[in-house]
Structure 1
Amino acid sequence: MSDTQTLIENRPPSVAALFLERVAATPHAEAYRYPVPAAGGQGPDDWKSLSWGQAAERVFAIAAGLIDLGLESEQRVALASNTRVEWILGDLGVMCAGGAVTTIYPTTNAEESAYILADSESRVLIAEDGAQLAKARERRAELPHLTHVVVVETADAVAAEGDPDGWVLSLADLEARGKEYLAKHPEAVKERIGAITADQLATLIYTSGTTGRPKGVRLPHDNWSYMAKATVATGLITKDDVQYLWLPLAHVFGKVLTSGQIEVGHVTAVDGRIDKIIENLPIVQPTYMAAVPRIFEKVYNGVAAKARAGGGAKYKIFQWSVGVAREYAKVTQDNFRRTGQATAPFGLATKHKIADALVFSKLRDAFGGNLRAAVSGASALAPDIGYFFSGAGIHILEGYGLTESSAASFVNPGEAYRTGTVGKPLPGTEVRIADDGEVLLRGPGIMQGYHGQPEKTAEVLESDGWLHTGDIGELSADGYLRITDRKKDLIKTSGGKYVAPAEVEGQFKAICPYVSTIVVHGADRNFCSALIALDEPSILGWAVENGLEGKTYAQVLAAPETNRLIETYVQTLNEGLQRWQTVKKFRILPRDLDVEHGDLTPSLKLKRPVVEREFKHLIDEMYEGTREL
């Protein structure tokens, strides 16, 4: 048996047990960093730290407090909060009490929050602030199982008239209650941890989905213990790393990142405020971080817009550097694949050195200067954007998985990563491609099923453990997976040709520095069309230079000049496509797509049916008068 197999097969039954091991091994080592905003919001944040031992004190207090509130094994505790250190401590506290965590995005409205709380039969809600508490209060009558709400922001933990006695308490109150309980029952939490079995429910995550009610995905403790061991077995993270964690912890990928950290013991800096990312990176100086493609696309568009604003000469240098970066990445990755050495010919290496001094080094500094790798997931990253960052020394390792497979089923293997693929399966995970091209997965990361929905479970999970992902993919001879599209998103034109919209959309994002989101349409139509949303800062920067200064975002979007600009990029796109893939018509959307309007999931995935319904009038307009074949 290999060392990797031994590591994975000898895993403990739970991450709670792994947490005990970590605390015992390195009690004084730094575990978490987190920001404390300056008084009144004036001045920079003050970053604080928790050692593993200090974190354990708080985790045990939370666990004991929940036990004192009457929490039993596998009973659910919901977490509705932005990413912050208290989210991690609360999650660990619930697990160490033997309970199971239900996650709720803080942007979820009151109706859907109530549905998740009711469907999961959550006994306790840990709410970030008064806004999350208000959602539970609004639907209190629908939540007979909810016995307590614990509020993280102490000032917001105020009981209101009509609240049942003891229904609302602060996190500080819960921890104080737990400390009192531990004084009387010092072994209570360790006993709960010792009683946890591998198949016991640990997490109930509701898929955000694109239509209908979300489904609760049941993930047992063994999933996370496996993920912790398997991600570390890839060699991608070490004890010396510093992780910058800002991704929503309500998303399954966040749980993978916290589990792996506990196994290896490195430092994690936690701050979920997206508007603070640029400010935080030079402070945190991470060695690795995870993100979604939209973040890298925004960085790319921002850098391009800044170069354009610097004048024609500066923009030409940037465009030249982009070409050098992409060529350098493709050549070095190909050489590494063939020889094990990421080498480039002398001429290209010389051009790359010049581009590095002019552009790439500044980009790396913006990421904190120490970034060894970034992991990207949730949706596909446009390959040309990936090649640009790769050539610039920002190594983006794409990965792949579903909520139903505990998020991390595939990841690119360090130096041997290949842009445009999601890498190789984690040790212990099996993959096969069905006859229709669908990716099937099996292994220790696969869910138990959908909560209370056996018929829905049977639709995707076969009796022998194979999970139908709904994604279309291709496996290389040496095991690298490339996802080509969602099975349900494949377009079949009225002429009988198949189009993968994600492929066309990805190419356009690499060509057009102003695009935020593009939605390619064409099912049962005689040509493909596109709805295009433009990035507000980038297009307003262009507007200032092109006679539209002083116009609002909406006015710029509606301007004929903007339409002509985007038309040139669509023409460039079409030059590289097969005839049946080309975008014959497009419309610029009157606003950007976002989570608030329901166009994107909280993990920034496109809700294609929602967008096509909302902007149906624009789609119909593009096909008016056309002859359907």
Structure 2
Amino acid sequence: MSAIPQITRAFDILAYQLQKYPQTDCLAAKINGAWQTQSTQQVKDAVDKFSLGLLANGIKKNDKIALVSFNRPEWIIADLGIQQMGAVSVPMYPTITEEDYRYIFKEAEVKLILVSDEKLYNRVSAATAQIEGIQGIYSFDHLTGVKHWSEISDQYKAVSAAELEASKAAITSKDLFTIIYTSGTTGNPKGVMLTHHNIVSNYTSCQPYVPVNNQHRALSFLPLCHIYERMLSVLYIAEGVSIYYAESIEKVADNLREVKPHVFATVPRLLEKVYDKIVAKGRELTGVKKSLFFWALELGLKYDVRGTSAWYNAQLAIANKIIFNKWREALGGNVIAIVSGGAALQPRLARVFGAANIRVMEGYGLTETSPVIAVNRHNPEDHMIGTVGPPVDDIEVKIAESDGEILTRSASVMKGYYKHPEQTAEVIDADGWFHTGDIGELVEGKYLRITDRKKEMFKTSGGKYIAPQLIENKLKESVLIEQVMVIGDGRKFASALIVPSFPDLREWCRLHNIPYTTDAEMIKHPEVLAKYDKEVKKYNEHFAQWEQIKRHELLSKLWSIESGELTAKLSLKRKVILQNNQELIEKIY
């Protein structure tokens, strides 16, 4: 058996797995109703053929290839194939606008584009209409009149294996492996240049804290075009964890029960939905069963990972036997850890899932930092609910004395923004500190807590600073609130624009016999307005007088990527929302 290769470049993970932990189910996807797996050797062969095919098509080192696809094994195979012949992948959200596609294709000077299906092919094809230099658009699905991506791999015999090995040998850890365009809440997207060393160093820093091994399975459903799921994919493959790709976000609940994963990454909103569904089922119970359910839930909300009393633990053991075991079953029954990132996790979710023996490891990072800066560990002594945990190995963090901004310095910090050195200089200072744009503090000198985005804080006309995200995250604890934006810059007081959770509100109206014909009519009903007044007042109690929401307005339509009010990461585009609701805001003030 040959020596186990070192992982210095992102694509080394496949040869490493093949030598150390060869799997029968390296990658898996559900096709025509059945889970189909590919072994490590099969994946390695497919990756090599794709690399050879790219070389045969004249693709050279540093050429850019765009990936526009939902998660599937082909995504990873194509990405590794691109990497190991020296080209640079430009992964993109399948949900962004045609204008954003066009901007990125042009700025990145993309040579080839890989798409997953007909819908994306049509959008991408329209976006490339006036762009020169694009050699072809290939699809993962078989589509009439569209080149299939296998046409590239089919040309593998035109290039010798020795030529591929020479290409791989010429790639160093300092070379670019990807350019990821961050959606941004203002202006055009920026291309974050990440090297092989950036992502390998981040995987190495995080590896000791993700409790997985080569006997485990992961379910993947967060977009692979985002560095968070992509870095975890590097970690999974390097550690011999089998990756199963969910069919879609809508099918995640079904796929969890089928795959029975040991780990998965998520955003808090998905956990909120799971929690809300479980509580809704609890409300349908009657008699003793209902009483026991809500007794267990109340107990779970008091859980502290850092230790509780013997009496509490005795009660929790009972709750786990009769109630929480069903929660674990709903997630497949094997989950050791859920890694949460991308937005603030509500402490109540970390508590109640933790009580159910499902550890939620909340972390923090940015695309520019490959991404993880800090994470709550699986072990209780390095875990504090309400924070994003301690910084991971070899990552420096400090809080700027002037304004509380979080600064970080490590091998994971990006090379810079593609073609924008002036913007790079704005965020990476002369000493190599990356300025995150987030405000935070170190609790007990160890645990990082994020308090807000620097650019999103605002000041009332009375001179008081307000951090909107803190208030928004608290308000979203209400099952009746889907989206919320706190406003009040330069005004006398803070207010909020609220988008109801319409499925939950319709159910509430049904239980209270409130008549309506449309959602727009429903949110004007006096009893509905009174209910939201009550909800806002309840959460106001958690804030100082000047931070409290004095007035609010309900909106009848969800903010979306399509409407231009959300980024691809589902962050609020505050300026757009303000512009779209000017009349309503004037009415408030």
Shift of 1:598: 2.6
Q: Which of 75, 79, 84 in structure 1 is aligned with 2:72?
A: 84
CA distance in 1, matches of 2:503, 2:291: 20
Q: Which of 557, 569, 582 in structure 2 is aligned with 1:603?
A: 569
Deviations 1:496-515 (A, max 9, x none): 222221212222223x1221
Report if aligned partners of 2:497, 2:553 keep a CA contact under 8 Å in 1: yes
2:80 matches 1:105: no
Q: 1:456 is matched with which residue?
A: 423
Residues 48, 549 of structure 1: alpha-carbon distance in 2 compared, 3 angstrom cutoff: farther
Q: 2:340 is matched with which residue?
A: 376
Deviations 1:131-184 (A, max 9, x none): 22223332434321211211111124x15xxxxxxxxx2112122122x23xx5
Q: Where does 1:148-297 land on structure 2 (aligned, <5 Å)? A: 148-156=136-144, 158-159=145-146, 169-178=147-156, 180-181=157-158, 184-271=159-246, 273-297=248-272
Q: 2:298 is matched with which residue?
A: 323
Q: 2:447 is matched with which residue?
A: 480
Q: 1:60 is matched with which residue?
A: 48
Which AA in structure 1 matches 2:378? G
* Higher mean displacement: 365-374 or 597-606: 597-606
Which AA in structure 1 matches 2:107? D
CA distance in 2, matches of 1:389, 1:409: 23
Deviations 1:524-565 (A, max 9, x none): 121111111122322222222111367444443333222211
Q: 1:399 is matched with which residue?
A: 363
Structure 1: gaps spanning 5 or more residues:
1-6, 38-44, 160-168, 336-343, 624-629
Q: Which of 52, 67, 72 in structure 1 is aligned with 2:60?
A: 72
Shift of 1:370: 1.0
Q: Where does 1:546-585 land on structure 2 (aligned, <5 Å)? A: 546-548=512-514, 551-585=517-551
CA distance in 2, matches of 1:386, 1:234: 17
Report if aligned partners of 1:485, 1:502 keep a CA contact under 8 Å in 2: yes
2:112 matches 1:146: no
Q: 1:162 is matched with which residue?
A: none
Deviations 1:538-593 (A, max 9, x none): 22222221113674444433332222112111111122321111111111111222
CA distance in 1, matches of 2:124, 2:472: 39
3-state secondary structure, aligned to 1:409: strand
Report if aligned partners of 2:438, 2:453 keep a CA contact under 8 Å in 1: yes
Residues 312, 621 of structure 1: alpha-carbon distance in 2 compared, 3 angstrom cutoff: farther
Residues 316, 108 of structure 1: alpha-carbon distance in 2 compared, 3 angstrom cutoff: same
Report if aligned partners of 2:64, 2:112 keep a CA contact under 8 Å in 1: yes
CA distance in 1, matches of 2:323, 2:562: 35
CA distance in 1, matches of 2:574, 2:411: 31
Report if aligned partners of 1:118, 1:142 keep a CA contact under 8 Å in 2: no
Q: Which of 102, 114, 117 in structure 1 is aligned with 2:102?
A: 114
Q: Which of 310, 324, 347 in structure 1 is aligned with 2:311?
A: 347
Q: Taking every aligned residue pair, what percent have the same amino acid on both sides?
A: 33
Shift of 1:69: 1.1
3-state secondary structure, aligned to 2:166: helix
Residues 565, 317 of structure 1: alpha-carbon distance in 2 compared, 3 angstrom cutoff: farther
Q: Which of 17, 20, 24 in structure 1 is aligned with 2:15?
A: 20
Deviations 1:364-388 (A, max 9, x none): 2111111111111111112223222
Report if aligned partners of 1:244, 1:284 keep a CA contact under 8 Å in 2: yes
Report if aligned partners of 1:431, 1:439 keep a CA contact under 8 Å in 2: yes
Give the TM-score, by structure 2 length.
0.94
Q: 2:498 is matched with which residue?
A: 532
Report if aligned partners of 1:223, 1:445 keep a CA contact under 8 Å in 2: yes
Report if aligned partners of 1:228, 1:263 keep a CA contact under 8 Å in 2: no
Residues 558, 66 of structure 1: alpha-carbon distance in 2 compared, 3 angstrom cutoff: farther
Report if aligned partners of 1:200, 1:221 keep a CA contact under 8 Å in 2: yes
CA distance in 1, matches of 2:516, 2:309: 48
Shift of 1:232: 1.4
Deviations 1:72-97 (A, max 9, x none): 11111100011111111111111111
Report if aligned partners of 2:96, 2:561 keep a CA contact under 8 Å in 1: no
User: May I ask how many residue pairs the two structures share in their alignment?
Assistant: 583
* Higher mean displacement: 244-253 or 606-615: 606-615
Shift of 1:191: 2.3
Shift of 1:363: 1.6
Q: 1:494 is matched with which residue?
A: 461
2:306 matches 1:334: yes
Which AA in structure 2 matches 1:67? L
CA distance in 1, matches of 2:559, 2:276: 16
CA distance in 1, matches of 2:574, 2:286: 37
Which AA in structure 2 matches 1:256? M
Give the TM-score, by structure 1 length.
0.88
CA distance in 2, matches of 1:405, 1:102: 17
CA distance in 2, matches of 1:77, 1:209: 22
CA distance in 1, matches of 2:350, 2:469: 15
Q: Where does 1:43-58 land on structure 2 (aligned, <5 Å)? A: 45-58=33-46
CA distance in 2, matches of 1:90, 1:170: 13
Residues 550, 578 of structure 1: alpha-carbon distance in 2 compared, 3 angstrom cutoff: closer
3-state secondary structure, aligned to 1:203: strand
Give the structure with the larger helix fraction.
1
Residues 69, 452 of structure 1: alpha-carbon distance in 2 compared, 3 angstrom cutoff: same
Shift of 1:443: 0.6
CA distance in 2, matches of 1:311, 1:530: 36
Shift of 1:47: 0.2
2:11 matches 1:33: no
Which AA in structure 2 matches 1:112? D
CA distance in 2, matches of 1:484, 1:193: 44
Q: Which of 570, 579, 594 in structure 1 is aligned with 2:560?
A: 594
Residues 525, 28 of structure 1: alpha-carbon distance in 2 compared, 3 angstrom cutoff: closer
Q: 2:406 is matched with which residue?
A: 439
Which AA in structure 2 matches 1:485? D
CA distance in 1, matches of 2:166, 2:521: 64
3-state secondary structure, aligned to 2:379: helix
CA distance in 2, matches of 1:145, 1:109: 21
CA distance in 1, matches of 2:163, 2:274: 48
Which AA in structure 2 matches 1:254? E
Shift of 1:358: 4.7
Report if aligned partners of 1:431, 1:440 keep a CA contact under 8 Å in 2: yes
